[in-house]
Amino acid sequence: METAKRKEQLLQLAESLIRQKGYTAFSYDDLSKHLGISKASIHYHFVKKEDLGLAVLNQIYQRLVDFSALMRESVESVEEKFVQFCHLQSERLADNEICPISSLQADYELLPETMRQKMQELSQFELSLMQDLIHPDGAESRDAESGFCPIALAMLSAIKGSIQYRRVRGGHSLMDTWMGLSRMLVHP
């Protein structure tokens, strides 16, 4: 297999395993067994698990950057943009998976320092994206200490919480949450 394709395969599988069971709960052995390759082949692309973790974080960050740029150019309503954000958050998730950012946040204290720094940056950017999405004109006041509006934090937390509940309960809790939050945007 081509080197670039193998690397992409490793990134996709690592992100999936992070969504399923967390960063600290998977190993290169899991990757090697799943892909039918040697651990040495994985080390060729990512010398340390930390390198792989950083690559996954960079991939997630880039998806958010791309989405943010798309939304800045969009003429859609705030509600439509919010629904698109919800789809972005869930499009890669199987029923038993959670948001990779939430999963990595849960492992935060166990992550290597370089990954913790990137997680801080990614978490701040995700929250800024939600802030800009629901208040593109900066209308809502931001909390003096955190710099973010409470509604953006509450909405992001509700989305991620509904993904967690869907994992346990199944059903439509995710869609129900989106629709409820979307209605709140239109009729505060």
Domains recognised in the chain with CATH numbers: 56-186 (1.10.357.10)
Span 99-148, pLDDT tens digits? 999 999 999 999 999 999 999 999 999 998 988 888 766 555 555 555 55
Q: Write out the two tokens for 22.
A: 């967390």
Minimum mean pLDDT range among 76-80, 144-148, 183-187: 144-148
Assess contact for 127 and 152: CB atoms under 8 A. Answer: yes
Chain-wide mean pLDDT for the chain? 87
Residue 181 has pLDDT above 80, yes or no: no
pTM: 0.87
Query: Cα–Cα distance between 110 and 108 in angstroms, integer?
Result: 5
Measured N-to-C along each axis, helices 150-169 and 173-186 cross at an angle, to the nearest 10 degrees, of: 160
Backbone angles phi, psi at 15, to 5 degrees: -65, -40
- Report the run of H or E that residue 151 belongs to, with start and end: helix 150-169
* Per-residue pLDDT at 173: 66
